[in-house]
Amino acid sequence: MEQRWDLFIKWGIAGSTSAATYLFGGWSAILNALLIFVVIDYFTGMAAAGAAGELRSTKGLIGIARKAFIFAMVAAGHLVDRVLGDAHLFRDAIAYFYIANELLSIIENGGKLGAPIPPIVKQAIEALKGKGENR
């Protein structure tokens, strides 16, 4: 029975790495950072919602769907890069955008949890929010 599980695990790892290579052009440090930021943002968002008494399973499911969409956009950027010559320009630009977005969200979640946020960071977040709303 152990051999079946070993085989299943090996095939799962092989399938996952093949999918990552096809969809993202391999796993890079940028994608690793994005994955870590996405996970941290999800859990800090759940903690902030729980602290505010707004923790709902539908909100959690929507959060997971949004995180999956992030990686779908990165995969789409990689496919565009493949058409244009495989330079990882679009994939990395999309990943950097979402890394910055996740970082802002993590900071906001920390603020909702009562963590001290430096005033300069608060000002930067408000400035970025203001520019995003004017467009």
Q: Answer yes or no: are the C-beta atoms of 91 and 24 closer than 8 Å.
A: yes
pLDDT tens digits, 2-19: 678 888 888 989 998 888
What is the model's pLDDT at position 132?
Answer: 55
pLDDT of residue 2: 65
30-46 pLDDT tens trace: 999 999 999 999 999 99
pLDDT band at 85 (very low <50, low <70, confident <90, very high): confident
**If pLDDT is split at 50, 70 and 90, which confidence band does 135 have?**
very low
Q: What is the pLDDT of residue 23?
A: 86
Q: Transcribe 38-71 into DSSP letters.
A: HHHHHHHHHHHHHHTT---HHHHHHHHHHHHHHH
Tokens 């995180």 locate to 67
How much is the pLDDT for 26? 82
